[in-house]
Amino acid sequence: MKPTRVRTELRGAVAILTLDNPPVNCLDRPTRQALLAALEDAERNAAVTSVVLTGARNFSAGADLGEFDNGEGLAEPTLHLTITGYLDRMTKPVVAAIAGAALGGGLELALACHARIATSTATLGLPETTLGFMPGAGGTQRLPRAIGLERATSLILSGQAMTAAQTLDYGLISEIGAEPVVDAGMALADRLAAAGPLPRLRDVAMDEPLAEGYLAFARRSLEKRPTTTTGQLYAVRALTAAATMPFDQGLELELRLFRELFSSDDARVARYRFLAERQAGRVPGAPHPLTVRSVGVVGGGTMGRGIALAFLAASIPVRLIETTDDRADAARAGIASELERAVSRKRISADESAARLASLDVSTELEGLSDADLVVEAVFEDLAAKREVFRVLDAVTRADAILATNTSSLDVDQIGAATSRPSQVVGLHFFSPANVMPLVEVVQGVNTSPQTLATAVKVVARLRKTPVIAQVGDGFIGNRIMDQYVRQAMQLLRAGVTPEAIDRALERWGMAMGPFRVLDLVGNDIPWQARKARALGETARPEWAIADKLCELGWFGQKSGRGWYDYPAPGRTESNSELPGLLAEHVQLSQAMTPEEIVDHCILAMTNEASAVLREGIAARASDIDLVMVKGYGFPARFGGPLYYADELGLDRVLLVIRRFAEAIPSDFFWTPDPLLVELAGNRNTFTRGTQS
């Protein structure tokens, strides 16, 4: 039996229509069909004088983005014309009673109703431009008529959500109603039914004499920004139509622009990223997570401080442990300084900063973690040291506490084996700076229980970060792939290409920073120590010899004033005049290489290794890998990630290039194409979108 997507209930003369398409009431085609039928029934029913439209749990988060890839997104009945057009023609008032989220098409549906009411915790917004396209169901035409052109333009171009209080101030909603909001909606619907002509936003005159100049300025500003999307530029065109054309003409232009956009490359990759975030962190079986009320952090260095700040920002009290009083004082001072910086930049208020600092306790006694629900270890990257910390934590923490390691590459199973509770051990690999970076790899050990995993995922979500589940393996998802990217950059040095040329080519292609600038930023000694720890006495591969030599000379990067570049003063970067002599000792052959060839070497190295990560089950899905690389490592979002990018290039072409590299450097075992890549290319499949026709 198919679920009822829209439930109808008669309360006296009011028809209550409740959207019920869990979890967020997406307006997929079956829901749209049910909604239109329910509206038609209410309009025809002589016993009904008014309608309240609401949602179970949330009002509606808008369109099902997957439908724009399978052809259902604009199939009838469309929200864009059919449903909103029917609302415009109804003779009975329809009140949108909003609880939870009314986003995208959900807000456009509410805008087509005759009035709106919301709970104090509701959020309303049009986030389409953050997804590569623009509102297409009247949002650019009705929102300016509801709250004014300037406010509407700002909200549409930023994609930011509004609070209920903001929408009340702006005039978007009539009032803030108490729970259950349907009761207040019924009262408002009764008043509208008795008042006479129904208010419709389409009938509101646009009195904006400076509109064209304002929007022309907005367009010019957008055109100067490298991050501007086509969706934002198209939205300005639609907003201009709202200010200068009759409503129906503006609506027609909006829909035409929307149709152009939703099939564009920008919109497709944005939908891919959005759906990737929706899928990431799903735990099979959905076990009930534990509640985390207090957290311990072991280690007060850069990473430990960042982790503590992330939990404090989520209003979770933190006890941070350091080894000495001096180090404890330094950790507390560092956190206080970071909070002061946030206040000075107006990211938080002085009161919020004080509240967060009051929720921080810094100590040198691990026994102080006896009441913590979750403890995150953030000591230096050494397996023996981490195992010793976990052995002590096992003894001093509650039996039901979860123990997490922030290791970036070490074996979580070996760390968990130092305890009597390996089922409660999990990896939480934060990226630096931990309080800023939006991604956490949640590493599931072989003994990690589903409940522990679910709790870790929920905690990461509370921090407003994206959790991606990884299995145990050297470097997990991101660092393993980045190792091969950097290794190829080192191979290019041996072929006579300079660090500047490599960085320049990759940055122009779209990487946030080239590999050598990144190494100098994080410190060349960090991967050097990791290589030494993982080599276990084995001979290092020759491509790492140059990087090792830099570290032996003390050229650690920005923190030492010299690395792949020189740093004579803060904010200044110059070429390292001594580097060419060092490189000359390691160059095998000197060959000219175009920027495109440099990009192919480094980016397709990511793709080949990402294929292996997927094939080995370290990541559950291709989109998880792409999400990690975009959010954690600066892979350009417009290309979707190394696997999506390979699909767009065509796996046949990728395979051809990789085999050419293998022939050119037969000693480089890495350029053996991964078996999964070979299989998918041979079957005309892709990593991210299934079988191709």
- CATH code at 527? 1.10.1040.50
CATH of the domain at 217: 3.90.226.10
Amino acid occupying residue 614: L
Residues 236 and 384 in one domain: no
Cβ neighbour number for residue 78 with a 10 Å cutoff: 19
Q: Give the span between the Cα atoms of 93 and 189, in whole angstroms.
A: 6
Of 58, 479, 608, 611, the active-site residue reads 479
Residues 397 and 505 in one domain: no
Residues 376 and 523 in one domain: no
Residues 251 and 320 in one domain: no
Say if 279 falls within a structural domain.
Answer: no
Say if 609 falls within a structural domain.
Answer: yes
Q: Give the span between the Cα atoms of 14 and 192, in whole angstroms.
A: 12
Cβ-contact 647, 688 below 8 angstroms: yes
Measured between alpha carbons, how far is residue 488 from residues 64, 349, 369, 606 in Å? 40, 45, 44, 9
Amino acid occupying residue 640: G
Say if 287 falls within a structural domain.
Answer: no
Full-model pTM = 0.81
Q: What are the tokens at 591?
A: 């060959």
Residues 492 and 462 in one domain: no
pLDDT in tens, 415-467: 999 999 999 999 999 998 899 999 999 999 999 999 999 999 999 999 999 99
H runs (alpha helix) in 359-440? 383-396, 412-416
Q: Give the span between the Cα atoms of 84 and 520, in whole angstroms.
A: 55
Coil vs helix vs strand at 19: strand
Residues 377 and 413 in one domain: yes
pLDDT in tens, 199-258: 999 999 988 888 888 899 989 998 888 778 888 999 999 999 999 999 999 999 999 999
Say if 284 falls within a structural domain.
Answer: no
Residue 114 known to be catalytic: no
Residue 322 known to be catalytic: no
Cβ neighbour number for residue 627 with a 10 Å cutoff: 27
Of 408, 409, 524, 576, the active-site residue reads 408
46: containing domain: 6-267
Q: Which region, left, alpha or beta, applies to residue 564 given φ > 0 means left and ψ of -120 to 50 means alpha?
A: alpha
**Checking DSSP bridges between strand 574-575 and strand 565-566, what pairing results, if any?**
antiparallel
Q: How far is CA 27 from the centre of its chain?
A: 22
Cβ-contact 5, 19 below 8 angstroms: yes
Say if 180 falls within a structural domain.
Answer: yes
Residues 498 and 452 in one domain: no
CATH of the domain at 464: 3.40.50.720
Q: Give the span between the Cα atoms of 168 and 134, in whole angstroms.
A: 24
- Among residues 388, 370, 366, 358, the alpha carbon closest in space to that of 298 is found at 366
Q: Give the span between the Cα atoms of 399 and 300, in whole angstroms.
A: 24
Query: In the prediction, which pLDDT does 691 show?
Result: 37
Residue 648 known to be catalytic: no
Q: How many structural domains compose the chain? A: 3
Angle among Cα 135, 267, 147 to the nearest 5 degrees reads 20
Say if 155 falls within a structural domain.
Answer: yes
Phi–psi pair at 365, nearest 5 degrees: -110, 115
Residues 441 and 317 in one domain: yes
Residues 53 and 102 in one domain: yes
Give the chain's residues under pLDDT 50: 1-2, 536-539, 691-693
- Among residues 664, 25, 572, 627, the alpha carbon closest in space to that of 276 is found at 627
Boundary-marking domain end, from 416, 450, 475: 475
Of 21, 429, 435, 524, the active-site residue reads 429
Q: Give the span between the Cα atoms of 387 and 301, in whole angstroms.
A: 18
Residues 485 and 463 in one domain: no
Of 377, 441, 543, 609, the active-site residue reads 441
Say if 278 falls within a structural domain.
Answer: no
Residue 128 known to be catalytic: no
Cβ-contact 92, 48 below 8 angstroms: yes
Residues 502 and 625 in one domain: yes
Residues 198 and 344 in one domain: no
Q: Give the span between the Cα atoms of 427 and 410, in whole angstroms.
A: 10
Cβ neighbour number for residue 625 with a 10 Å cutoff: 31
In the numeric block, the tokens 């990487």 are attached to 511
Q: Give the span between the Cα atoms of 304 and 151, in whole angstroms.
A: 40
Share of the chain above pLDDT 90, in %: 70
What angle in degrees, to the nearest 10, is found between the helix axes of 149-158 and 230-244? Answer: 160
Query: In the prediction, which pLDDT does 692 show?
Result: 36
Query: In the prediction, which pLDDT does 209 show?
Result: 83
Q: Return the HEC string of 595-658.
A: HHHHHHHHHHHHHHHHHHHHHCCCECCHHHHHHHHHHHHCCCHHHCCHHHHHHHHCHHHHHHHH
Buried b (16+ CB within 10 A) or exposed e, 587-610: eeeeeebeeebbbbbbbbbbbbbb
Strand boundaries in 56-183, DSSP class E: 94-98, 101-103, 115-118, 123-125, 161-163, 175-176
Q: Which region, left, alpha or beta, applies to residue 684 given φ > 0 means left and ψ of -120 to 50 means alpha?
A: left
Residue count of the chain, please give it: 693
Say if 465 falls within a structural domain.
Answer: yes
Boundary-marking domain end, from 475, 509, 535: 475
Boundary-marking domain end, from 422, 444, 475: 475
Q: Give the span between the Cα atoms of 108 and 125, in whole angstroms.
A: 9
* Torsion 447-449-455-460 (CA) sign: positive
